[in-house]
Structure 1
Amino acid sequence: MRIVLTIEEPNDAFQADLLALLAKHAAAVELDTEWTLERAGRFYQAVPKRAQRLLREAAVRDGFVSDEILREELDGKNLRGHAGPLKRALERGVREGWWPEGMQPPLGPRGPGFGKVKGYEMPQELVSTFFQAIAKPQPAGDGTPTLER
């Protein structure tokens, strides 16, 4: 049996009852943790401009944006603070009910370990989804640039 359920803006009592029911049947419940166009678009809109640029660059560059590309705009300064808003937006999405807990982060830092980040990488299976979601015209007409590969 497969049941697909979408609940927008549930009240607290309903949400608590539903979560209790799901917990009771947890062994048979499989959460949909796939990035869809809608989820990717909402995630992109939920992060600040600097993090949007990071996602946009990764999507345009087939999943990897190097530290040099990002530092061009920063006059060689460090990249500290780029990944934090991504993590917070992912956590916010769980709290707001935009997606379930367990969603794969769409982007992560790459480097030698401790020290300077050498770039940010998006899993290859997410590149197309995020590219399409970011390139899609935004309903508010916020001036998001058209993406080109």
Structure 2
Amino acid sequence: MKITIEGASEEFAEKVLALAAQQGAELTVATVQTGWTVDRAERYLRSLPVGARRFAEMVVVEGDGYLDADQLRSVIGRLNGPTVALSRAVPRGVKKGWWPEGTSAPITPVSDPDNPSWHQNIAYQMDTENVPVFREALRNLLLSSARPWSGEAPSALDAPTGWAAADDIPRVMGPNSDFEQGS
């Protein structure tokens, strides 16, 4: 027998397990943590295009988890592109197995309470417990991309800055092309 409990409190899950145990069921309990970790936050930020990553950076660093939409617009311009990228990053990460189903979006829009029918958001926010996690992730990304100059130009075949070697990186040339490195 397999029982999957998603989106329930721990107390409720324990009651279901106790009920199943009364019926003689042998159960294995596996918990999935849907919260944000530094590794997940780094992967999330790495998956974003430049404008969306700048958007996230501003909410985390400059806004400390809350930033007015007008301030974002003054730096980024129209917010349509970055907000679409932010909204698609979480489902893409679930599909690729980077984080579990049920992981919430780290940045959410704030609607105008005085004018809820008007769809332009007045701000964007991040839960306070996620702000230090994303600060650390941004710091790690910055440190990983700040390599000392060795005097040689980086290879065009290396993973771009901010991407992990195992990421599915879009390439101009296919992996089976006739190009020889160093020629």
Normalised to the residue count of structure 1, the TM-score between the two structures is 0.70
* SS of residue in 2 equivalent to 1:24: coil
One-letter amino acid matched to 1:35: W
How far apart, in 2, do the equivalents of 1:102 and 1:58 lie? 22
Give the Cα–Cα distance (whole angstroms) in 2 for the partners of residues 121 and 90 of structure 1: 16
Q: Which letter maps to 2:37? A: T
> Which residue, out of 114, 118, 125, partners 2:122?
118
Give deviations 1:32-54, integer Å, cap 9, x for gaps: 11211000000000011111011
Q: Give 1 or 2 for the bigger CA radius of gyration.
A: 2
- Name the structure 2 match of 1:98: 98
User: In the alignment, what sits opposite 1:80?
Assistant: 80
Q: Are residue 37 (structure 1) and residue 41 (structure 2) matched?
A: no
CA-based RMSD = 2.1
Greater fraction helix: 1
In 1: Cα distance, 2:109 partner to 2:125 partner: 6
Which residue does 2:58 correspond to in 1? 57
Indicate conservation of the 8 Å contact 1:58/1:65, yes or no.
Answer: yes
Code of the aligned partner of 2:74: E
- Can you list the C-alpha shifts for 1:59-81, whole angstroms capped at 9, x where unaligned? 1121011112112125xx54223
Deviation at 1:115, TM superposition (A): 2.3
Q: Cα deviation per residue 1:81-132 (whole Å; 9 max; x = unaligned)?
A: 3322112111111111111000011001112233221111011110000011
Q: Indicate the residue corresponding to 1:66 in structure 2.
A: 68
Corresponding residue of 2:139 = 135
Unaligned runs of 5+ in 2: 6-28, 147-160, 163-183
Note if contact 1:83-1:108 (Cα within 8 Å) is conserved in structure 2.
Answer: no
3-state SS of 2:124 partner: strand
Percent of aligned positions that are identical: 32
